[in-house]
Amino acid sequence: MQKVEGNVAFHTAMSTAFPQPAPGTAPGPGPIKDLPAGKLRSVLGITSVRQVRGSARLAIVDTALAAV
């Protein structure tokens, strides 16, 4: 999920310490509270940010911990 205000882009990603529901799937904001322990590695992850030469945009890639 991302939001742009002026020249600043805000990104939320899997790398947060508190797993978040997919946008529009929860009754309100906040972390998932009833997540089974076995599913935790599939909703948390690592975010990589890379600058691509010749491009003004950053490449943002989320990888689930289950895939690492």
Lookup result for tokens 């972390």:
31
The total number of structural domains in the chain stands at: 1
Average pLDDT estimate for 28-51: 83
> 39 lies in which domain range?
2-67
Mean pLDDT of 7-19: 69
pTM: 0.51
Sign of CA dihedral 1, 63, 40, 42: positive
Q: What is the mean pLDDT of residues 4-31?
A: 76
Give the confidence band of 13 by pLDDT, cuts at 50, 70, 90: low
How far is 32 from 45, CA to CA, in rounded Å? 15
Question: What local confidence, expressed as pLDDT, does residue 47 receive?
Answer: 80
Higher pLDDT among residues 15 and 35, named by residue: 35
